[in-house]
Amino acid sequence: MKQNIIILGTQWGDEGKGKIVDCLTDRVGAVVRFQGGHNAGHTLVIGGKKTVLHLIPSGVLHDGVKCFIGNGVVLSLDALDREVRELNDAGVPALERLFISESCPLILPTHVALDLARERDKGGEAIGTTGRGIGPAYEDKVARRAVHFGAFQDREYGESRLRALIEWHNFLLVERHGLDAFDADEIVEQQFALFDAFKSQCVDVARELNTLRQAGERVLFEGAQGTLLDVDHGTYPFVTSSNTTAGGVGAGCGVGPRHIDYVLGVVKAYTTRVGAGPFPTELFDDTGARLAERGHEFGATTGRARRCGWFDVVFMRQVIALNSIDGLVMTKLDVLDGLESLDICVSYTDANGATVDWPPGTLQDFQACKPVYESLPGWHETTEGITEWDALPENARAYVSRLQELLGVSIDIVSTGPERSANIVLRDPLD
Ligand code: GDP
Ligand code: IMO
Ligand code: MG
């Protein structure tokens, strides 16, 4: 049995990770978020009912499954409070299932103000962040200024760290960005009130996960964002501020690399990106607009339109290696229904006209790359909701098979719709 399984995004996020985590959760004991924050938007659809999760792991709809927020996640207590309330209103007792690392760095209202101020000051150079304070919160973590969730257990210690951080943020907001200072007393009061609501959830996640492992429980590690948004390996500086790759799991929740049994990458049958930055296969024509419309490509967190383009095998080669991907879930195949033909980017031509089959290391070189396509015929039948491989149109099967051949990795599951049940399982990733 595969016990510890990582599920992560292989493109620029929104690959459908939430759906896949949810539909595999009925066979696991726990689901863990290990990086990112409420910049994520993971959509689950069950019987037509939609749930969008930002911070809480996508296993939360399952009774009896533990949901952990690891130390690698930057935690907005305010966002957590909203999400828990929404789930409660929908009849999901989220707090009964949720456990939060004492070492999560907190996101404060001042982090959000700094994120927005920096983006505004960058003008045309803006990254297009989600405006949730993610970057500034990770900066403070690395600078050893952050306040950990568990620090509030000792009021005096927690408050003094919190006040020191607010003072630093106010200095930046006023002196660097010309904005008003925040009222420190107000933030202290608000943060401690929120802490009181969640203090029973505070645990040593690494220790809990070790106990689950020894008890033989199966655990899913749920990535947020995608590999190309990784702060080290992505399209820097147009990235998020955490390690979204498989390597982020160990640091982000305290599970050693030898305890990981399987890495499952989630990939869309085409490519999308939200925010700025290079995107070699981006489409600016009717086909791009059609993908956006059929795929409902609007951000689950910010509602922004996602940029759309063809499948890119070149960066996927690197992504598979970076994460040691064992198998893939290909989502949104149904969105391609009705296209005359489909292009697959099999190599790039670089600025010197040379053929490139692996993405270049610098942003400038990557930006200069032009896609080289192989074209496959499309299909007119609908694939939405299909659960059997043989029921797919022949050309849809040929498209998936060709991608599997080009990528050299098993496509374990093909997803054919947003519903939990809309999957073709070709190889069970949990067995
Ligand atoms: P995540 O951030 O990776 O969890 O992905 P999002 O939830 O942000 O975006 C994926 C969107 O596609 C959501 O609206 C899902 O409901 C939807 N979705 C997931 N899988 C499929 C699929 O196979 N077909 C279609 N049409 N929609 C899907
Ligand atoms: P899920 O988990 C898609 C993008 C933002 C921006 C960049 C930096 O739903 O796949 P940040 O707010 O993190 O500092 O923004 O990263 N981004 C995402 N894009 N899906 C996400 O999450 C994203 N989270 C952040 O659009 O380009
Ligand atoms: Mg998303």
Answer for the pair 136, 173: CB distance below 8 angstroms, yes or no. no
Q: Does the beta carbon of 43 lie inside 6 Å of ligand 1?
A: yes
- What's the rounded Cα separation, in Å, for the pair 23 and 111? 34
Structure tokens given for 424: 């073709």
Out of 259, 279, 306, a domain closes at 259
Structure tokens given for 297: 């490509």
What is the best residue among 17, 19, 271 to mutate for testing ligand 1's pocket, by most ligand atoms within 8 Å of CB? 19
CA of 134 from ligand 2 middle (Å) equals: 10
Answer for the pair 3, 218: CB distance below 8 angstroms, yes or no. yes
Answer for the pair 325, 264: CB distance below 8 angstroms, yes or no. yes
What DSSP string runs through 395-419? HHHHHHHHHHHHHTSEEEEEE-SSB
Sheet of strand 262-268, all strands in order from the earlier edge strand to the far edge: 202-203, 98-101, 66-69, 30-33, 219-222, 4-9, 262-268, 327-331, 410-415, 423-425
CA of 342 from ligand 1 middle (Å) equals: 20
Ligand 1 atom closest to the CA of 301, numbered from 1: 8
Out of 259, 289, 304, a domain closes at 259
CATH number at residue 412: 3.90.170.10
CATH number at residue 171: 1.10.300.10
Name the catalytic one among 14, 115, 312, 412.
14
In a domain, 352, yes or no: yes
Task: Determine if residue 91 is left, alpha or beta; phi over 0 gives left, psi from -120 to 50 gives alpha, anything else beta.
Answer: left
In a domain, 41, yes or no: yes
In a domain, 117, yes or no: yes
The answer on 310 and 228 residing in a single domain is no
**pLDDT score at 300:** 76
Answer for the pair 300, 43: CB distance below 8 angstroms, yes or no. yes
- What's the rounded Cα separation, in Å, for the pair 388 and 410? 17
Which amino acid, 385? G
Phi–psi pair at 281, nearest 5 degrees: -100, 15
Phi–psi pair at 173, nearest 5 degrees: -65, -40
The answer on 192 and 137 residing in a single domain is yes
**pLDDT score at 296:** 96
How many other β-carbons are positioned within 10 Å of the β-carbon of residue 61? 23
Structure tokens given for 220: 């899913």
Q: Catalytic: 148?
A: no
The closest of 264, 343, 346 to 309, measured between CA atoms, is 343
CATH number at residue 232: 3.40.440.10
Q: What angle do CA 196, 250, 111 make, to 5 degrees?
A: 45
Q: Does the beta carbon of 16 lie inside 6 Å of ligand 1?
A: yes
Adjacent-strand bridge partners of 5? 220, 262
In a domain, 50, yes or no: yes
- What's the rounded Cα separation, in Å, for the pair 323 and 40? 20
The answer on 68 and 8 residing in a single domain is yes
**pLDDT score at 1:** 84
Residues 6+ away with beta carbon under 8 Å from 252: 34, 35, 70, 71, 72, 73, 242, 243
Answer for the pair 105, 148: CB distance below 8 angstroms, yes or no. yes
The answer on 189 and 254 residing in a single domain is no
**pLDDT score at 302:** 83
The closest of 222, 302, 178, 164 to 30, measured between CA atoms, is 222
Answer for the pair 88, 62: CB distance below 8 angstroms, yes or no. no
Helices (H), 199-242: 205-214
**pLDDT score at 304:** 87
> To which H or E segment does residue 271 belong?
strand 271-273
The answer on 323 and 414 residing in a single domain is yes
Q: What is the DSSP letter of 156?
A: H
In a domain, 224, yes or no: yes
In a domain, 430, yes or no: no
- What's the rounded Cα separation, in Å, for the pair 233 and 140? 21
- What's the rounded Cα separation, in Å, for the pair 38 and 136? 14
Positive or negative: CA dihedral 107, 112, 113, 117? positive
Q: Catalytic: 233?
A: no
Residues 6+ away with beta carbon under 8 Å from 21: 7, 31, 42, 57, 58, 59, 220, 222
The answer on 281 and 404 residing in a single domain is yes
pLDDT in single tens digits along all 431 residues of the chain: 899 999 999 999 999 999 999 999 999 999 999 999 999 999 999 999 999 999 999 999 999 999 999 999 999 999 999 999 999 999 999 999 999 999 999 999 999 999 999 999 999 999 999 999 999 999 999 999 999 999 999 999 999 999 999 999 999 999 999 999 999 999 999 999 999 999 999 999 999 999 999 999 999 999 999 999 999 999 999 999 999 999 999 999 999 999 999 999 999 999 999 999 999 999 999 999 999 999 999 987 788 899 999 999 999 999 999 999 999 999 999 999 999 999 999 999 999 999 999 999 999 999 999 999 999 999 999 999 999 999 999 999 999 999 999 999 999 999 999 999 999 999 999 99
Q: Does the beta carbon of 429 lie inside 6 Å of ligand 2?
A: no
Answer for the pair 328, 390: CB distance below 8 angstroms, yes or no. no
Q: List strand residue ranges (DSSP E) for 192-258, in order.
A: 202-203, 219-222
Out of 198, 225, 248, a domain closes at 198
Q: What angle do CA 171, 175, 180 make, to 5 degrees?
A: 75
CA of 216 from ligand 3 middle (Å) equals: 31
How many domains, in total, are found in the chain? 3
Name the catalytic one among 38, 42, 148, 169.
42
**pLDDT score at 225:** 98
Phi–psi pair at 287, nearest 5 degrees: -65, -40
The answer on 321 and 298 residing in a single domain is yes
The answer on 315 and 224 residing in a single domain is no
In a domain, 431, yes or no: no
The answer on 142 and 35 residing in a single domain is no
Domain extent at residue 369: 267-425
> To which H or E segment does residue 319 belong?
helix 313-323
The answer on 215 and 91 residing in a single domain is yes
In a domain, 401, yes or no: yes
Ligand 2 atom closest to the CA of 13, numbered from 1: 10
The answer on 90 and 9 residing in a single domain is yes
The answer on 31 and 17 residing in a single domain is yes
